[in-house]
Amino acid sequence: MAVLNIVKDGDETLRKVCRPVTEITPRILRLLDDMKDTLHKANGVGLAAPQVGVLRRIAIVECEPGELIELINPEIIEQSGEQEEVEGCLSVPERWGITHRPAKVKVKATDRHGNTFTVEGEGLLARALCHETDHLDGIIFYDKAVRMLSKEEIEND
Question: Catalytic positions, please?
Answer: 132
- Answer whether 97's CB lies under 8 Å from 142's CB: yes
Q: How many residues are recorded in the chain? A: 157
Instruction: Provide the edge-to-edge strand list for the sheet that holds 46-48.
Output: 46-48, 58-61, 69-80, 104-110, 116-122
Single-letter residue type at 124: L
